[in-house]
Structure 1
């Protein structure tokens, strides 16, 4: 029983880790997107853009 629990714990850890890396990659891409389209997005303040409030309008 304890071995099974350990296995699930490891699974959960790896799952969370993958989510974190995906989020980091997404943020990095978002930053690159912002810098590529700076002329278009000058009206959008960077802080709100960073928090993803206006991501819908950006894309």
Structure 2
């Protein structure tokens, strides 16, 4: 996760996207933005996907 300074208590926007999924795996990218447009955090998560039986 990328870390960015943010201490003023203002609400933030969470923007998430999934650029790829296949072969039982998925990737999720997300950014957290301040109201004034500063990037506060970047997050990446890889997931394993399976069907329930």
| Pairwise TM-score range, normalised by the shorter structure | under 0.3
Point out the structure with max Rg over C-alpha.
1
Q: Relative to total residues, which structure has the larger helix share, 1 or 2?
A: 1
Q: Relative to total residues, which structure has the larger strand share, 1 or 2?
A: 2
Higher relative contact order (CA 8 A, sep 6+): 2
